[in-house]
Structure formats: structure tokens, C-alpha cells
Chains A and B, each alone.
Chain A
Amino acid sequence: MNLPYRPIALGLIAVAFSALLFQRAQAGGSHYFAPVNDAVVKEECGSCHLAFPPSMLPASSWQRMMADLKNHFGDDASVDAATAAHITDYLVANAGDTGGRRYGDKLLRGSSTTKAPLRITELSRWLREHREVPAWEWQHKDVRSKANCVACHAAAERGYYDD
């Protein structure tokens, strides 16, 4: 019997490699935050800005935010009661200290989960990751706001924040 060793070995390496990649994606790599995969949340929370991944804030933050959508950072983001309940359930279930813990750990480390911070861009970990971004970059006309993640992280809609 003459086994084709080389192809088998190459195949094994390929399998091992993709398993590694898969594991990284599963564990969240270090820059992956599962994007919103609920159509209602995407529609209602993704028109004015990126639909932020629920794992970037703790459950208490989402509860606090959803309780006053009429005064949402100066905007009226209110929706009817049934829609609000649906969105709250989704955000709370996938928050950084509940279902989305394996992603959220990276941004929530060092932040209190009970103080219900409303801004991702004020978490101490987020500030640290961005301390080297120069002021002119934040003011660039294509950026406009710190909350405009997509301007700098081109793959943010898909959950990646590593470029």
C-alpha cells in the first residue's frame, strides 16, 4: 500500500489551522464583538449610528438606556412599548456581563457593571485603546464622532475592531 503522505499531512495542517482560526473566532479572537443579529434591533438601533454590539456594555447599561429613549443623547429614539421590550430583552440577554461575556470582557474590564455607564466611548478600557489616536483624527469630517466606529474600523459592521 502506498499512502500519499504529503497530501494527508498538508490536509491535516490545513484542518488544524482552520480549527485554530475557528477557535479564535469562537473565543472572540481579541478584537471580535458579535454584531447585532436581530432584525428589529438592527433597524431601530442602527439607523443613526452603527448598531453597537450588546456585549460592549453591561446589562444594567442597556436597561438604563432603554428606560429613556425619548432623551437619547439629545435625540428622540423612542419606539412603541412592544418594540422597546423586544429590544431590551435582546440587549440584556447578550450584554457584556451576560450572554456576551466572552466578547465583552475585553472592554468591560476595569469598568463597574453596576454603575450602568451609557457610553462605550467612556469606558476606561475603550479610552486606553484609543489614547494614541490624535485629536485631529477625531475631528476629521469623515469621523465626526467617537461613536462613528466604522470610520476607522472598516469591518465593525461584521464585529471586527482590529484595523
Chain B
Amino acid sequence: MSNRNTEEAIMNARKNRLLLAVTLALARVTAVAAPRDDLLAGYAAAAKKTDPAFAGFSATRGEAFHRNSFAGGKAATPTCTSCHAKDPRTAGQTPAGKAIDPLAVSVSPGRYTDPAKVEKWFKRNCNEVLGRECTPQEKGDWLSFMLSQ
């Protein structure tokens, strides 16, 4: 009898361990996804405030924004793609020649997990390209595009 019990105990321990591993893996996935969801939710709330007709973000609009040329910023960098690659799955380059890792999360899974970093660069780069800060709608569209890539 003791043999059967031990076997059962081992099986149970195995099941528990498997369950624990699955839970931990899930927790890890959500830990990465959560800051991105929070960012998007924050931009959505801010967009709703300024525009009651706000109807969500669009990756397609984000893609167009990423490639659009603007007149308000620095002449040398009229578009996001002055530094980042047109295809966000490939690397970009700064004016000083330093390589920039791809922006697409499928290639750079660590991106957009530090909200302070995201906001810091939106502020710098939007000023550089548009000569003003980006609106919450523009940020949310752009981010949706990068998350879809």
C-alpha cells in the first residue's frame, strides 16, 4: 500500500509543480504586457477627455503617422523614419550614426515596458519631428502599430 501512496504523492507533486510553472509563466507574460496596456489605457483616457468622439486607436493610422513627413520640427529630421527604419522590424540609425534597435515588439520584446522611457522619447522625438508634443491619439495609434508588428 505504501508503494501506491508514494506513487500517488509523487504524481500529485508533479502536477502541482507543473501548475506552478504554468502560473509563473503566465504571470511573467502579464508582467510584461501590463505596462503596455496601462500606457494604452492612459492615452485612451486622455484622448477621450479632449475628444468625446474618440473611437479607439488604429494601427493603420499609426503606420501612416510613423512614415508621414512633418514641417514643424527640425529640417534634418522631418519624420520618425529619419532615425527609425521604415520597416519597424529592422534597425534604424541616429544622426550621430548610432544604430537603433528595431521598434517592433516581435523583434524587440523588451520595448514599451518602461512607461517613463516611452514618455521621455515621445517628448524628445515628437518635438524633434513635429515641433510639438504628440497628442494622446497619435501616441496610442503609433504604439498600436508597433505592438502589432
Contact = CB atoms under 8 A, between A and B. Distances in A.
- Size category of the A interface is 10 to 19
A49 B124 contact: no
B95 interface: yes
A76 B97 contact: no
A141 to B, nearest CB: 9
Which DSSP category, helix, strand, loop or mixed, fits chain A's interface?
loop
B96 interface: yes
Interface string B59-95: 0000000000000001000000000000000000111
In the complex, which of the residues B74, B100, B120 has the most CB atoms of chain A within 10 Å of its own CB atom?
A: B120
Contacts of A3: none
B58 interface: no
B127 interface: yes
A147 interface: yes
Interface in A104-163: 142-145, 147-148, 150-151
Interface of B: 74, 93-98, 100, 120, 123-124, 127-128
B124 A148 contact: no
Contacts of B98: 47-50, 148, 150
Interface in A56-106: 74-77, 79
A82 B25 CA distance: 35
A31 B127 CA distance: 38
Which 4 pairs show the lowest CB-CB distances between chains A and B? A148-B97, A49-B96, A144-B97, A145-B96
B95 A144 contact: yes
Interface string A2-46: 000000000000000000000000000000000000000000000
Contacts of A75: 124, 128
B124 A145 contact: no
B94 A48 contact: yes
A82 B123 CA distance: 19
